[in-house]
Structure 1
Amino acid sequence: MHKFLFLLIVPLIGLGQSKLDDVDQLLHNKDYANAERLLTNYLKEHPQDLKAIELLGDAYGYQEQWDAAISKYKMLVQANQTNANYYYKYGGALGMKALTVNKVRALSIIGDVKKAFLTAAELDPNHIETRWALVELYMQLPGILGGSTDKALQYANELEHLSKVDGYLSKGYIYEYNDQPDLAETYYKKAIKEGGSLTCFDKLTKLYETKNQPEKAIQNIEEAQKIHQRNALHYQIGKVAAEYNIELQKGEACLQTYLKNYSSRDGVPKAWAHYRLAQIYLHKNNKDQALKHIDLALAELPEIKPFVQEKEKILSM
């Protein structure tokens, strides 16, 4: 009898898991509306399935439906008060909602955001994402609401014990936020030496751009290119050259290489490379080439405001 019941249950479990696997794929493909639809129907028959509730919260979050996401994540923390990831997602959704409402309403939410993240950190001493969230929260909150560089550094130190790269990046973030670029540069360079990922290089590049040091930005991107050999980095060099009117020959060559080797994996549409080339040719006072490339950019993405403004600038040469 028990064996017979087991044989009945197994196919049902398999069917449910199959549906959730389909949802995972939909989320991976950014088909959030269909994922939401499948999960909503699935939960009508399996209302206590925590994995499905979590995925539905994720689907809502990807669509920036923060109230709906908060509702699902709240169900999770009420169902399982020992799961750090549930508290982390709940706090994250609350935090995103706080960014969309007026200041008075946001102030009433911040306490719950902090409580959720602190609970997640306490439940799981190895939860890296929560510690990152706390670093950012304590840096962005004003002091009167509990913001504190010391507390942010406390969690950055915890991150460093868990992952040296995350620790260095978080400290770079803290010092950059506090307008201490030399210390920020030191820690971003430590992150590059320790991990060497594109993320590490990108943080340092953006610091240099923010501090109006385009030459250093280009040098850093070139170092990244030596290691990672990514076509997208050609675009980044061209972008810096165009924006800051420096090393125009190098910028032009890099953008032409980007266009020649372009694939959808590169991320930045070809139109933006043509726009940067138009900027470079404008710097060179080459109206014909500038007009050619801005027209190519507009042909692909005609509604982009910077493209329209650039053409007006070129035509007024």
Structure 2
Amino acid sequence: MKKLVLLLLLPLWSFSQTSHQELEWLLEQKNYAKAEKSAAMFVTNNPTDLKAIELLGDAYGYQEKWDEAMAQYKKLVDFKPKVANYHYKYGGALGMKALSVNKLSALTYLGDLKDAFLTAARLDKNHIETRWALVELYMQLPAIVGGSKNTSLKYANELEQLSQVDGYLAKGYIYEYDDEPELAELYYKKAITIGGSLTCYTKLTEFYEKQKKPEKAISNIEEAQDKLQRNALHYQLGKVSAEYNMQLEKGEACLKNYIKNYSPEDGVPIAWANYRLAQIYRHKNNKTEAFKYINLAIKELPEIKVFQEEKELISNR
């Protein structure tokens, strides 16, 4: 009898597993609308399937449908109130919803947002993403509604105990946000020394760009390229070169290398590399080449406004 019951249940279990895998695959392929439709249908038929509910929430989130995502993640919190990651995702959706409305309306989400992240942190002492969220939350909130640099540093210290790299990056973020560039640079460099990942180098490069220090940004990118050999770094160097009108020959060569070796994993579409080449040729007063590359950029992504603006700049040169 037990074997018969198992045989009857097996197809159901297999269907559930397959459906989860299919939904995850659709999300990985960035086919969010189809993932949403499939997940919604599956959840309708399986209203207590937590994995399916989570995947439906993720599908909504990727499409910035924050109300719908919040509703799904809230179900998870209600079903399993002691799972930290459910509170974290619910808090994340609340946070994104708050950013999408005016400041007065955003305040109505603040209590639930804090509670979700703090609950996640309490439930899981090793939840790195939650501590990152709390670092950013307490730095960005005005003091009048609970913002606190000291509280942010508290969670950065907790991060450092879990992962030195994350702790240093968090402190770099805090000091950069608080307009203490020397300390921000120090901690971003510490993160590179300990971790040496593309993320670490990118954070320092972005910091130098915000500080209007393109020479340091280029030097940092070149160091990263020597160690990591990533095609994405060719674009980053070309971008800095084009934006600041410096080391143009190097920037041109890097962007052409980026296009030659491009793969979707590099992240930035080729159109943007063509746009940066157009900028470089404009700086070099080579209108023919500038028009050639800006037209390529526009052909690929005609809806991008800055491409059209660049074409006008070239025309008026």
Q: TM-score, normalised by structure 1?
A: 0.97
Task: Please report how far the alpha carbon of residue 204 of structure 1 lies from its aligned counterpart in structure 2 after TM superposition.
Answer: 0.2
**Worse-matched range after superposition: 248-257 or 284-293:** 284-293
Question: What percentage of aligned pairs have identical amino acids?
Answer: 65
What amino acid sits opposite 1:218 in the alignment? Answer: I
CA distance 1:40–1:260, change in 2 (3 Å): closer
Label 1:291 to 1:131 Cα distance change in 2 as closer, same or farther (>3 A): same
Instruction: Please name the residue that 1:149 is paired with.
Output: 149
Displacement of 1:207: 0.4
Which ranges in structure 1 are unaligned for 5 or more consecutive residues? none
Q: Which 4+ stretches in 1 moved above 3 angstroms?
A: none
Amino acid at match of 1:153: L
1:208-254: per-residue Cα shift (whole Å, max 9, x none)?
A: 00000000000000011011111121111111011101111111111
Distance 2:275 2:25 in 1: 34
How far the C-alpha of 1:259 sits from its partner, in A, is 2.1
Tell me whether 1:130 sits opposite 2:117 in the alignment. Answer: no
Partner of 1:269: 269
Which range is displaced more, 236-245 or 154-163? 236-245
Q: Distance in 2 between matches of 1:274 and 1:33?
A: 30
> Aligned partners of 2:281 and 2:102: how far apart in 1?
44
SS of 2:7's equivalent?
A: helix
Q: Which amino acid aligns with 2:177?
A: Y
Alignment partners' CA distance in 2, 1:14 and 1:313 = 59
Instruction: Indicate the RMSD between aligned Cα atoms, in angstroms.
Output: 1.2
User: Which residue does the alignment assign to 2:171?
Assistant: 171
In structure 2, the residue matched to 1:97 is 97
Corresponding residue for residue 306 of structure 1: 306
Aligned equivalents of 1:304, 1:71: Cα separation in 2: 33
**Residue by residue, what CA displacement relative to the aligned partner does 1:114-171 show, whole Å, maximum 9, x if unpaired?**
0110011001000000000000000000000000000000000000000001000000
Are 1:280 and 2:280 an aligned pair? yes
1:296: Cα distance to partner?
2.4
Q: Does 1:187 find its partner at 2:209? A: no
1:21 deviation in Å?
A: 1.0
Partner of 2:223: 223
For the residues of structure 2 that align with 1:3 and 1:277, how far apart are their CA atoms? 67
Q: Quick one: distance in 2 between partners of 1:269 and 1:47? A: 39
Between 59-68 and 113-122, the greater mean CA deviation after superposition = 59-68
Q: Distance in 2 between matches of 1:233 and 1:150?
A: 35
Q: Distance in 2 between matches of 1:178 and 1:216?
A: 21
Task: Determine the structure 2 residue equivalent to 1:38.
Answer: 38
Shift of 1:199: 0.5
| CA distance in 1 between partners of 2:262 and 2:18 (Å) | 36
- TM-fit CA distance, 1:291: 2.2
Distance 1:218 1:232 in 2: 14
Alpha-carbon distance, 1:292 to partner: 2.3
Structure 2, unmatched stretches of 5+, are: none
SS of alignment partner, residue 185 of structure 1 = helix
CA distance in 2, matches of 1:170, 1:253: 34
